[in-house]
Amino acid sequence: MEERIAVVGLGYVGLPVLLAFARRYEGTIGFDREARRIDDLVSGNDANGDVDPADLQSTRATFTTDATHLRGASFVVVAVPTPIDDHRRPDFGPLRAACETVGRHLSKGAVVVFESTVYPGATEEVCGPLLESVSGLRRGVDFFLGYSPERINPGDTAHDFESIVKVVAGEDADTLERVARAYASVVPAGVHRAGSIPVAEAAKVLENTQRDINIALMNELAMICNRLGIRTAEVLRAAETKWNFLPFRPGLVGGHCVGVDPYWLAARAETAGHHPQMILAGRRINDGMSAYIAGEVARRLSRAGMALSEARIAICGVTFKPDVSDTRNSRVPAIARELAAFGARVLLNDPLADAGAFAEETGLELSPDEALRDLDALILAAPHRSYLDAGRGRLLGALRDGGLFVDITSAVEPADMPPGVTYWSL
C-alpha cells in the first residue's frame, strides 16, 4: 500500500521532511497552524532560508492551515518544537497541541511518527495516551506509534535531511518496518533500526547532550587560559595535532537543541531517581558564559580607563549561530542585558535576523549598520560571512582609537587588528 503522507509542523525540521516525501509520494500534505508561515511557503519563500526557493516552487506538496486535510493520511510525521519553560523543565505545550490536532483527524491504521526531541519514554507515555483520548482509537490496534529523531543542522548544507542516516523506531516489529520503509524511500543515506522507541529517544538527547558537555569543557578551558594569559585558540591548534582529540570550540550555546535537550534528559533522569551531575554542570557553565563575557568586557574597559556608564558597545550577530536567521534561545540578549546593567549603551546588529520577530521575542531592537560608529567595544558574537568578508573593515572601522574588539569564536586573527585596537577572545 502506498502511504499517504502528512507532516505537522513546517519549521526548520518539518519543511525538509515534507519536501523529501513530496518528491516520492503524491498527495503529501504539509500542515502548520501559522497562517503567515503557510502563505510564505505557498509563495515560494522560506523565511528560515533552509531550503532552495526552486524546491518550494516545484514541490507537489499541499501547504495548509486546515487540519481537516490530515484526514485520510496513513503516515503522519510530527515535527514541532519541544522547548523548556522558565524553570528549565520540559514544555510539552507544542507537542500536546500537535497531538490534539492529529488525534481529531486520525484515520484507522495510520502510523504517527514523532521527530520532535523528547526524553526517553515520552512518545509512548505522553503522546500515545493523548492521541487515544482525542481520537477515540486504540493505540497498537487502530493506530501505531513510531519515532525518528530529527537531525537537521540549520545552516549546514553538507548535512541535509537526505544525507544523514535516519534512526527509526516503532512500537512493534511491523510498525518499525513500516517506518523504516517509508524513510528509506526518501533518505539515500539509509536508516538505522533502533531496538525500541525509548532507545531512539535516548539516542537523540544523548547526541546533543554530548555536544553540550564538550563545549562546556572548552568554555571552562577558555576561562582557565584567560587567567593564565594563554590564547585558547593556540592551545586548541596544538592539541588538535593528536589523532584522537575532539575538535570542539568554546562559545555561546543557544538555539532550539543543544542548550535545551540536556534539560529534557536531566528531567527524566531525576524522575527515575538519578541526579545527573555532569549534564547539569555542563549546562551551568554554558548558561553562565553570557555573564562571563559581559564581565570580561566590563573589566577590560574599566582597566583601560573607560567608565562603563559612558561606554558605547555594539554586539554583532544576535542569531544563535553564524549564517542562520534563527534567534531562538540566543545567548546574545543576555550579554546585552548584563552590559546594560553596568550602565553601558548597547547596540545590537544582525543582517540575517528578523528585527520584528527578535523584538517580539526579546524586547530588544536591532540597530542599522550606520549606527555602528564611535564604539568603545565591538563584540562579534555570531560571525556571519557578511561580517567576515566585505564587512570586516567596516566593523573594525567602527571602533574608536583604543577600542576593544571581542571575538567570541576566534573568527578573526589578532594580527588583523588595526593599530590602537585591543583584541580579546574566549
Closest by Cα among 48, 3, 41, 47 to 19: 41
The helix, strand and coil proportions of the chain, stated in percent and rounded to the nearest 5, come to: 45, 15, 40
The Cα–Cα gap between 397 and 391 comes to 10
DSSP codes joined into one string, 305-340? T--GGG-EEEEE--SSSTT----TT-SHHHHHHHHH
Four-CA torsion 291, 297, 300, 305, nearest 10 degrees:
-120
**Residue 127 annotated to the active site:** no
Catalytic site residue from 99, 127, 225, 257: 257
Decide if 279 contacts 265 (C-beta within 8 A): yes
Cell numbers describing residue 326: 534563527
Q: How far apart are CA 407 and CA 246, in angstroms?
A: 22
Pick from 314, 302, 304: which is nearest to 406 by CA?
314
Lateral strand order in the sheet of 5-8: 62-64, 29-31, 5-8, 75-78, 111-114, 144-147, 166-170, 191-193
> Coil, strand, or helix at residue 23?
helix
Q: How far apart (Å, rounded) are the C-alpha atoms in residues 153 and 230?
A: 32
The pairing of beta strand 144-147 with beta strand 166-170:
antiparallel
- Catalytically active residues are 257
